[in-house]
Structure 1
Amino acid sequence: MAAARLRTGLRRKSLLPLFETCRLRDILFFSSSVNAAAAVGGTISPDPHFMVEYLVNSCGFSSSEAAKFSKPLVHLRSTKNPDAVLNFMRSQGFDGAGIRKLISGDPRYLCYNVEKNLAPKFQFLRDLGLSESDVVDVIRNNEEILCRNVHRFLVPKLEIWESLMGSRELVLKHLKKSRRFFFSSAEKTLYPNLKFLRDECGIPEERVSVVLRSCPQLISLKPESLRALVVRADELGMPRQSRMFMWTLYVFHNVSKERFEAKVELMRSFGWSESEFSSAVRKNPNFLSMSLDMLRRKVVFFINIVGYTPSFIASQPTILLYSLQKRVIPRFHVTEMLKSKGLWTGQCKFTSIIVFSDTKFMETFVLPHKENVPELLDILRAAGTCKGNDTFHLASEDEKGLS
């Protein structure tokens, strides 16, 4: 069974011996004795609504936001613990926006004991080798870490994901960028999804692993949600044996049915048939991740400027993935200038030129002619892809066009 094999593969490491006795205590910080609170500092108020003003003045919330987020804090009569929490978060690198995001997610963080509840989580992440800014990113994206016991929950969860993804570095990379995948239940979500993809869909484990390492969110979906994505891929005619099947699931996870249909209509307006659209998606579904506007601009350029037919574009959907401004347009202008001066016969297809490495493009089309045709470098500099005479950088995709 997948679950048994994965459990067997878990590496049991004593990551944090210092935290063996660490427990998450969701308790009130304050004493009912006003004199005791006064002795240790902090503002004391008999007004049960004083936390509204505190959230405005100390965190920068608006009055309406503060009124909303103060509701779980009506029991507080002192700012001693909230002050300690805010001072600690600032000392760890959180700015005002980060603190507001944290508190708006759960205002009760202001009631946590810094030494017992918060500091161990930060130390746990630092002991994994994360920098201060990395720790801030991880907690901003996964604030639930602050609610979990280090030794009983965080360490075992790290070990599970480390065994699934093959390295701790990959787990930490996704923790810094992604939300919530780390907290998916192994028994209710991860193992059932793996079993479904392997046993019912017939997808080899190594193929699942390749996508899992890049997109752990996919395997973290609720089983019913993952099954719904498989249905969408089946309806498109994507063979489950195809190497693109898992990537199609990932794209569908990020592209709603409404956005999908909008792209169908857009490409139909350019002349794509239903079969051409399905064929293009089966060859490379990633073009569906682009915004409508970026997809439209790329297709218009290839049709009106380069001279490709819609059917040809459908047969070569990968050309739609490259940056229009930083790769496609400047390379097209370079080759057109060379042709106009009789320095290039045009024997190499432009679809091949688009996918050339930066070095190969420079060595083939730019450097041999930079003395006689200095305008080539001007074209690349204007696109922001050329610095100096011999340094060349091109983006592999247009980040602004992806959504």
Structure 2
Amino acid sequence: MAAPTLRSVLRRNRLLPLFETCHLRDRLFFSSSVDAAAVTVGGTMSPDPHFMVEYLVNSCGFSPSEAAKFSKPLARLRSTENPDAVLNFMRSQGFDGAGIRKVISADPRYLCCNVEKNFSPKFQFLRDLGLSESDIVDAILKNDVILRLDVHRSLVPKLEMWESLLGSRELVLKHLKKTTRFFHSSVEKTLHPNLKFLRDECGIPEERVSVVLRSRPHLFSQKPESLRALVVRADELGIPRQSRMFMWTLHVFHNVSKEKFESKGELMRSFGWSESEFSSAVMKNPTFLCISLDMLRRKVEFFINVVGYTPSFIASHPNLLLLSMQKTVIPRFRVLEMLNTKGLWTRRGKFLSYVTLSNTKFMEKIVLPYKEKVPELLDILRAGFRNSAQQFNRDDFGSYELLDYVQIDSELSWTKL
């Protein structure tokens, strides 16, 4: 059966009262579980209301200051029976010490939950969906709210809602494992208002919204006022809302604060870019804004001081800044330079054309024809690949999740770097 369109999903109001009612019930249920655990008898008993500080240090590995902070919601506990059961269960499900600390940090009251009633059904539900043990750990570390939601009243309706929006169960599970706070957002207060705003008020075609929704749902999971602020920033930059770059710019701005945006602008102006050149480069491909400031500086310096490009040329070709220095730019430049010094290659002005070739094409056009005369060319490229494998381009792109992907055409399709 074909997946419903966004328009039809937006009109599906029957799930909304159920979801919001269940959310309230879950909150009440979670609070009652804490109260029940507070009077549990068993485990290690202590009359000291602060004994949980020592417990969190010894059993979970928190620092004393962290333990003091996270023990506050547990002040009514007088026994370690429930916390012991929770920790043992989580370890049995594949959580290591760091993972357990992350979950407890998100809400220490998880230590008060009843394992059989609160946790086991959620883990079984995720297993029934086809997730492996490591997948379940990843999903909960990204979306610990799963541990608070009732399976039938909340998890299933949320899963069905996201499946309708994204079009497939596979995409839901993929984002559940990789996207932070994927299950946190309210359908009524967040998702539907954001989709309606982009479609009806911004005039963005439903198909274009749908493409970005499927690839980066967290853009739509933010508060509506935050999304509106991103639209204002894009408008101020002069990007037409009908442009195919508009949605991608919103996605980049979601990861790049105003302060970081300004710092990148100041850096590029220090190299000679005018204000209009900076704006033009952002409109052509805003992804370079997500590169760390230090790496951006090093890339521009290389292209200006080593390759010989002018700042204006770089501004008109911002895709250059997205290339990996260790894997692509430096090895290929060295290859062409070596050929040039041996009199086998004299077209230095064509570096842009050759640095953007696929690896296969570069080998076919540049390396293989000269491998007998200059066998060192293969060593240069191999060294570049070894370096890139070690660094995984982290220096190029910092920690931004969106930079696993880069826009490659005007249709907003995506490919791995």
Interval of TM-score (by shorter of Structure 1 and Structure 2): 0.7 to 0.9
State how far apart, in whole Å, the 2-side matches of 1:9 and 1:368 are.
61
Amino acid at match of 1:6: V
- Output one character per residue of 1:251-295: Cα deviation in whole Å (capped at 9) or x when no partner: 111111111111111111111111111111110010001111111
Aligned counterpart, 1:292:
293
**342-351 vs 223-232, which moves further:** 342-351
Residue 71 (structure 1) shift? 2.0
**Contact in 1 for aligned 2:327/2:385 (Cα 8 Å):** yes
**Contact in 1 for aligned 2:163/2:169 (Cα 8 Å):** yes
**Contact in 1 for aligned 2:277/2:312 (Cα 8 Å):** yes
State how far apart, in whole Å, the 2-side matches of 1:394 and 1:242 are.
36
Residue 381 (structure 1) shift? 2.4
Residue 399 (structure 1) shift? 2.9
Aligned counterpart, 2:237:
236
State how far apart, in whole Å, the 1-side matches of 2:162 and 2:38 are.
41
Aligned counterpart, 1:384:
385
TM-score by length of 2: 0.85
Are positions 1:399 and 2:402 aligned together?
no
**166-175 vs 186-195, which moves further:** 166-175
Amino acid at match of 2:164: S
State how far apart, in whole Å, the 2-side matches of 1:207 and 1:378 are.
44
Aligned counterpart, 1:5:
8
Distance 1:303 1:347, change over 3 A: closer
State how far apart, in whole Å, the 2-side matches of 1:239 and 1:353 are.
32
**Contact in 1 for aligned 2:70/2:108 (Cα 8 Å):** yes
**93-102 vs 64-73, which moves further:** 64-73
TM-score by length of 1: 0.88
Output aligned runs, 1:137-216, within 5 Å. Answer: 137-216=138-217
Are positions 1:342 and 2:343 aligned together?
yes
Output aligned runs, 1:64-143, within 5 Å. Answer: 64-143=65-144
Residue 367 (structure 1) shift? 2.3
Aligned counterpart, 2:253:
252
Residue 183 (structure 1) shift? 2.1
Identity percentage over the alignment?
A: 73
Structure 2 counterpart SS, 1:56 = helix
State how far apart, in whole Å, the 2-side matches of 1:396 and 1:214 are.
25
Residue 74 (structure 1) shift? 2.3
Aligned counterpart, 1:264:
265
**322-331 vs 207-216, which moves further:** 207-216
Distance 1:9 1:208, change over 3 A: same
Distance 1:8 1:395, change over 3 A: farther
Residue 401 (structure 1) shift? 2.3
Count of aligned positions: 380
In the alignment, structure 2 segments of 5+ residues that lack a partner are 16-24, 399-417
**110-119 vs 121-130, which moves further:** 121-130
**Contact in 2 for aligned 1:73/1:108 (Cα 8 Å):** yes
In the alignment, structure 1 segments of 5+ residues that lack a partner are 13-21, 387-392
Residue 164 (structure 1) shift? 1.5
State how far apart, in whole Å, the 1-side matches of 2:106 and 2:279 are.
41
State how far apart, in whole Å, the 2-side matches of 1:96 and 1:210 are.
38
